[in-house]
Amino acid sequence: MMVSKEDIIGAIKTVYDPEIPVNIWDLGLIYGVDISAEEIVITMTFTSPTCPMMEELLQQVKDAVAAVANGVPVRVELVWNPPWDLTKMSDEARVQLDLTEHGW
């Protein structure tokens, strides 16, 4: 049985940035979720290419998705284009981080 995109997003939402109390989905770090019978590919970025937790977070995403993938292999691709910015955050994340007054 094929895993749903909603299940994958739910799994990704369990992964939090260690410096910001917001999950990486709502931070806008996930650019794509591609599901096929052969592979699940998660495309993601970071707020900075110097993130000290990069490798750990990439593994956490892979592990979280693999837990709901019904045995389908998971690959996480790191991209830098387009660059991440605050506009990629969800409204909920902006409220949680008190960024609503700044016109975001």
The superfamily (CATH) of domain 5-84 is: Fe-S cluster assembly (FSCA) (3.30.300.130)
Query: Dihedral of CA 38/33/1/69: which sign?
Result: positive
pTM of the model: 0.89
pLDDT per residue as tens digits for the range 66-88: 999 999 999 999 999 999 998 89
* Domains of the chain, residue spans: 5-84
Mean pLDDT computed over 49-57: 93
> In the block, which residue shows the tokens 């590919």?
41
H-type alpha helices, the chain? 5-12, 54-66, 91-96
Buried/exposed code over 53-92 (b: 16+ C-beta within 10 A; e: otherwise)? eeeebbebbbebbeebbeebebebeeeeeeebeeebbeee
